[in-house]
Amino acid sequence: MTKNAAKSRKSNEATTSASRKNDSVEAAVMKAAEKAGIKDGMAKRATSELSRTLTADKRLCPVILTGNTQMRLDFAINSITADNLEYLREGRCRVQDLPITSRVVNDWTGRGLLDDTRDNTAEWRKFSNVEVAYINILQQCREFGLSSRRLLNTKSGLEITLYKNNVSLLEIAYSYVMNWSDLDKEDLFLLIAQDGRCNIARKDDLTLMLQSAAFGTHFILNLNEVWNGK
């Protein structure tokens, strides 16, 4: 067998193996969806949408979203106006208003976990509502023992802008929890993998993932509890 033929055969075998693995995960998802009482079409539609959006970037850990979750998040995203975004991003809180000390702020800034966007460092540093929400997440992650290096992966994932209006994953999650979660009577969760990669999901999605047994170890934050103290 020539080198080219051998290389081609290995490539075909790898493709076949990857295809079988994808089929296996898809089958596990469908089985879990059936157990959870979710229609196949809805689960498949959400999974394909996810492959084009939330899982398109390797900085995010993979999740399974039901069609209902995708619809709810899309609705929350589409309701975010330019004025909403300006309000979310406007610096309002000083260091003394934060749940952490100025020493911790400086330490996390030095490690790249917090951004300092001031033009003049002599000015008072202010934090937006979304930045405060992010700091709350960092606190929880540090308590769970996640290292700064892995938290950089979490930060990178939360900063991804997923839609044409440049709304970040963190802003989507914050907007949903603050404006729509009570109406839906559904909490929103942040999943963080061992390497720090993250993603968002609702209760039905967690059920699917746990039942499919297709995903590795994560720890899970209930963002409604983190941000609202529920």
pLDDT tens-digit map of 51-101: 455 655 677 887 777 777 777 777 777 778 888 888 889 998 999 999 999
Average pLDDT over residues 154-182: 84
- Quote the mean pLDDT of the chain: 77
Q: Give the relative orientation of helices 67-78 and 169-179 as an angle to the nearest 10 degrees.
A: 90
Q: What is the pLDDT of residue 1?
A: 54
Give dist(CA 127, CA 208) in Å, integer.
36
The domain total for the chain is: 1
| Domain region containing 118 | 3-228
Which band of pLDDT confidence, cut at 50, 70 and 90, is reported for residue 170? very high
Q: Give the relative orientation of helices 67-78 and 203-212 as an angle to the nearest 10 degrees.
A: 140
Which band of pLDDT confidence, cut at 50, 70 and 90, is reported for residue 159? very high
Q: Give the relative orientation of helices 67-78 and 40-52 as an angle to the nearest 10 degrees.
A: 50
